[in-house]
Amino acid sequence: MNKRWKPNVTVAAVIERDFDGVRKFLLVEEQTRDGLRLNNPAGHLDPGESPLQGCVRETLEETAFHFTPTALVGVYLSRFERIQPGHAEPLDVTYLRFTFCGELGAHETERVLDVGIVRALWLSMDEIRATTPMHRSPLLLSCLEDYLAGKRYPLDLINTDPSVLLPK
């Protein structure tokens, strides 16, 4: 049987803010099938949108903050197996993640967060490293470490053909 490999395309935001001289990063606490987990504001790319548009949308839906990407931090590939109740074989899952950094915009205080998101919170790198067992993905820390290392790539590195943006 010939299987075509189809990784899940996701987008994520690295958003930093200074709190009285302490660098903190915006994360989300979310309810998952594995319990309460921490992640960057992130999610799946939807049909009809570019990675940039997806990142802006996901950040707003998960944190109620507007976000303007200014640079690509990196492109990440990860893979894991998920146990499927009632199945002998685990599900093989691969994620291709585009991570952006940028400018934090206005906060919509009355906005209801996405289903499963418990809250948005600001944590320092020490706090994030101390909560590694709660990370939804190893990519959370990888993206932040790359950001702290100064990795930034121009947004025009990512090209979205206009055919993607056309309504179907």
pLDDT of 67 above 80: yes
Burial 78-94 (b: 16+ CB within 10 A, else e): beeeeeeeeeeeeeeee
**pTM for this entry:** 0.90
- Enumerate domains of the chain plus CATH numbers: 8-153 (3.90.79.10)
Q: What is the pLDDT of residues 88-100, one digit of tens each?
A: 887 777 889 999 9
* Confidence tier at 166 by pLDDT (50, 70, 90): confident
Taking the C-alpha atoms of residue 98 and residue 78, their distance in angstroms, rounded to an integer, is: 12
Pick 84 or 19 by higher pLDDT: 19
Taking the C-alpha atoms of residue 34 and residue 30, their distance in angstroms, rounded to an integer, is: 10
Taking the C-alpha atoms of residue 88 and residue 125, their distance in angstroms, rounded to an integer, is: 39
Mean pLDDT calculated for residue range 116-133: 97
* Confidence tier at 111 by pLDDT (50, 70, 90): very high
Alpha-helical regions (H) of 14-110: 51-63
Identify whether the C-beta of residue 14 lies closer than 8 Å to the C-beta of residue 100: yes
Mean pLDDT calculated for residue range 44-61: 96
Alpha-helical regions (H) of the chain: 51-63, 125-130, 139-148, 162-165
SS3 117: strand
Taking the C-alpha atoms of residue 21 and residue 9, their distance in angstroms, rounded to an integer, is: 35
> How is residue 136 annotated by DSSP?
S
* Confidence tier at 2 by pLDDT (50, 70, 90): low
